[in-house]
Structure 1
Amino acid sequence: MKQNSNQTKEILIFSHIPKTAGSTIRQIIDKQYHKKAITRHQKINTLTEAQLEQLEAIYGHCRFGIHKVLSKPFKYITMLRDPIERIISTYYYAKRRPQNRMHQSATKYDFKEFIEHELSQGNPAFENHQTRFVSGEKNPDLEKAFENIHEFYSVVGIMEMFDESIFLMKEFLDWEDISYVKENVTSKRPKQDDLPKDTMMLLKEKNQLDIKLYNYAKQKLVEDINGLTRKSKQELEAYKRQNKREG
């Protein structure tokens, strides 16, 4: 574990967008910082001044903006996922988790009916939710999300490029052990081509901002990878091979 100097290090804020491998990322974060110096975002307002002073990392389903309660420097990371894949995963995850707040709806309806029901109810999780998280705005603001990425985010990872994303976090955040075991993986779910085409079209229509944000972040991630040193690129390839064997 790193012995971070709290006088010089910025507080890491992991803004965990639901269904973007957050449990696995938290597992990695837990190995980088002192246990007592990590808190979930829900507890931030309950910490004493002394606890805030020792804080090294915050994580949870928090949108951009939680840093406003901090008096110390900070930096954000997050992980994005193909917007349609994230929504499909949300349905099948809710379906098999009785404690999930959408479980009753997911078990009552098939996928098409579920999506139409949740959209009709104005559930924000199904309409540009990733842009909402990164922009920090109740009404998702794509330009604000772009600005935040450049000004406040050390890394915006891409779930479909998970190893590359984690490796960049290691490089940019000076992490050490980034080995992991996949957690909360939703298995036995259909592919997009197996689901109703009109529902897929509806989701794409309702998530145009998220699609643009995802493509933008993916391009930036690729550029950052291309900018790595030759040695780092070799280490990345070795990391990917190792995880492929273990997976």
Structure 2
Amino acid sequence: MSKPLFFIHPPKCGGSTVISFFDLNLDRDKFINFVWGGVSQEKTRERFLASGIGGGHDPIGIHRDLKMPLEYCSILREPLRRQISHYWFARNGKNGGVARGVSVSEAEALAQGGELSLDDWVGESCSGKNLFVQMLSGHGRVNRESLELAIENVRQHIPTVGVCEDMSDFLLRLCGRTGMRLPFFIRTNVTEGVPKECSPLSERAREKFVEDNHLDYELYRYVCDEIARERESYGAIYTRAIEAVRQIQRRIDALDNPYIYTGKSNMFGFDENHLRMVREVATSADLSPIDAYIELAQSRRRECGDLFDGFVDAVNDDMVHGWAVNLSVPDKCVPIEIWVREKLVATTLTGNPRPDVAAAGYASERCGFAVRLPEEAQEGFRVKIAGSAQTIRSAGTWQRGWHMA
């Protein structure tokens, strides 16, 4: 892989199981779980840069914090199933995690104490409303524009997105993207002792959830359709490969598994002896159909779109001042556009000296810009990067008096 890989892990979408895939293909401690903020931030950064593989419950955008280009991957799950899974996970104390000191939200604490019903949890989307769109767009509050950005990010910056319902497909395609050879996993962090059949969900709660999370459903359907198209494009080569993966995975699933009902693996990794046993099962089988798919997928590998960072610093004397860096190609000028509603009214290129930006750790000093506002922009405008869905910070709508809307 030419760039570090960051796994965007929405909660209760099989992320711990995905991490077993990385441990199986790489050294046990290769995958870096992100603890981002405070005293752990610099240590996490150093470990991630040394490893090149990591992830966490973070939305797209970590490339800005790291000041470098990344490749992203992610996994989704049917939204209602994810929401219900999180409820029972909270209800049983997070598979022992609460007893070990794992933090809980107020809603999770109420669920664990039996004071929050499944209907209440689902009806209020307590595990997050339109969470997938939030995480793949990077927007805290989402709307139709956020969905469009999430889809564009999948097209340009998250080339491998899978669904939890078909883990083998996701990991096979991830091997095709990364060149890793073993698309297998150790099932882990399955919620134990869940009496789901005893707690039916009301139709009222179900309908409200679907309505409140319609953007997530659109994104999920888009991803499923794209996966189907990608499978079809590989024809029989994919079919033979996935059949081999599923056959070998059944043998792995038959092994004694000490991790299936524990969440500890996400933080502490998998025992090397157990990993060795799983590798032996995998590598003793005929991997040639899988190798053939990976080789073809690698030959078709497309580059991701450029990633940017930047900031609109100020608007004064009818001039917009700021900076922008192409993290993928730092020496390349960034084209900046000023838009009034749906009309392009001004353009410029970065190139002005900004030693403060370079001193902050970015790989470019000549990244500043200043552009004059035309008369028609006096009542409000937006700043965009030309030809990219990527945005720079404080680039939203500026209103007269030059403050953010």
**TM-score (normalised: structure 2):** 0.53
- Shift in Å at residue 91 of structure 1? 0.6
Structure 1 residue 245, shift from structure 2 partner: 5.0
Report the identity percentage.
Answer: 23
Task: State the Cα RMSD in Å.
Answer: 2.4
Cross-structure match for 2:140: 138
Match of 1:183 in 2: 188
Name the residue aligned to 1:86.
Answer: 82
Bigger strand fraction: 2
Instruction: Work out whether residues 72 and 158 of structure 2, in 8 Å CA contact, stay in contact via their aligned partners in 1.
Output: yes
Which one is further off, 150-159 or 95-104? Answer: 95-104
- Name the residue aligned to 2:4: 11
The answer to whether the aligner puts 1:162 opposite 2:164 as a matched pair is no
In structure 2, distance between residues paired with 1:165 and 1:48: 26
Q: Which residue of 2 aligns with 1:129?
A: 131
Deviation, 1:230, is 3.0
Does residue 1:174 correspond to 2:174, yes or no? no
Following TM superposition, by how much is the alpha carbon of 1:212 offset from its aligned partner in structure 2, in angstroms? Answer: 0.3
Find the counterpart in structure 2 of residue 21 from structure 1.
14
| Structure 1 position 66, deviation (Å) | 0.8
2:241 aligned residue:
235
Could you list the runs of 5+ residues in structure 1 that have no partner in the other structure?
Answer: 1-7
Higher fraction of helix? 1
Alpha-carbon offset, residue 240 of structure 1 = 1.4
Using the TM superposition, give the Cα deviation of residue 199 of structure 1 relative to its aligned residue in structure 2, in angstroms: 0.5
- Larger radius of gyration, structure 1 or 2? 2
Q: Aligned equivalents of 1:222 and 1:154: distance in 2?
A: 14
Aligned to 1:4: none
Matched, 1:149 2:154: yes
> 1:203 & 1:48 partners in 2: Cα distance?
36
Q: Are the structure 2 counterparts of residues 204 and 41 from structure 1 closer, same or farther at C-alpha, using a change threshold of 3 Å? A: same
SS in 1 for 2:234: coil
In the superposition, relative to structure 1, how do residues 52 and 161 fare at CA in structure 2: closer, same or farther (>3 Å)?
closer
Deviation of the 1:127 alpha carbon: 1.1
Contact 1:129/1:210 (<8 A) preserved = yes
2:221 corresponds to which of 215, 222, 226:
215
Q: CA deviation at 1:166?
A: 1.2
- The equivalent of 1:5 in structure 2 is none
Unaligned runs of 5+ in 2: 99-103, 254-405
Q: 1:48 to 1:29 in 2, by over 3 A?
A: closer
Deviation of the 1:76 alpha carbon? 0.6
CA–CA distance in 2 between the matches of 1:128 and 1:168?
25
Count, aligned residues = 234
Alpha-carbon distance, 1:52 to partner:
5.6
Structure 1 127/223 Cα, relative in aligned 2: closer, same or farther at 3 Å?
same
Q: Please state how far the C-alpha of 1:134 moved relative to its aligned partner.
A: 0.7
Instruction: Report deviation, 1:132.
Output: 0.5
Using structure 1 for the length normalisation, give the TM-score. 0.85
For 1:95, the equivalent position in structure 2 comes to 91
Counterpart secondary structure, 1:153? coil
- Distance of 2:59 and 2:225 partners within structure 1: 22
Q: Which amino acid aligns with 2:116?
A: Y
Which amino acid is the alignment partner of residue 25 of structure 1? V
CA 1:180–1:38 in 2, change beyond 3 Å: closer, same or farther? closer
More relative contact order in 1 or in 2 (CA 8 Å, sep 6+)?
1
Runs of 4 or more consecutive aligned structure 1 residues displaced over 6 Å after TM superposition: none
